[in-house]
Amino acid sequence: MVKEITGKELDELVGKGEKVVCDFFATWCGPCRMLGQVIETLSEEFSDRAQFVKVDVDKNGDLAASLGIFSIPDVFVFSDGAVKAHNLGFAPEEQMRAFLEENI
């Protein structure tokens, strides 16, 4: 299961240089719920390559603003303490798998 964390917890993971896939979402967002299911499935497949987490942008607005997140869902890949890539909007499983293959 993909764990929901706070912005502070994400900063700590990224600061340690961990490979992190973060799904930025909101509970009221329909496409976020659909993508959440895709991320949940793929997190099992890629669990040996990255840590999968999710952050609610409504509860962590400062972090979302600092990353330039103004639309959701938005999936970020962090590597070596920095943003490596991000994918804005809903993506079907095959498209998200290709994004993850390329970036983690």
Alpha-carbon gap, residue 101 to 57, rounded angstroms:
25
Catalytic residue among 10, 29, 57, 104: 29
* Per-residue tokens: 5: 């964390």
Active site residue 22: no
Helix 30-45, helix 93-103: angle, nearest 10? 50
Catalytic residue among 32, 39, 42, 57: 32
Residues belonging to the active site? 29, 32
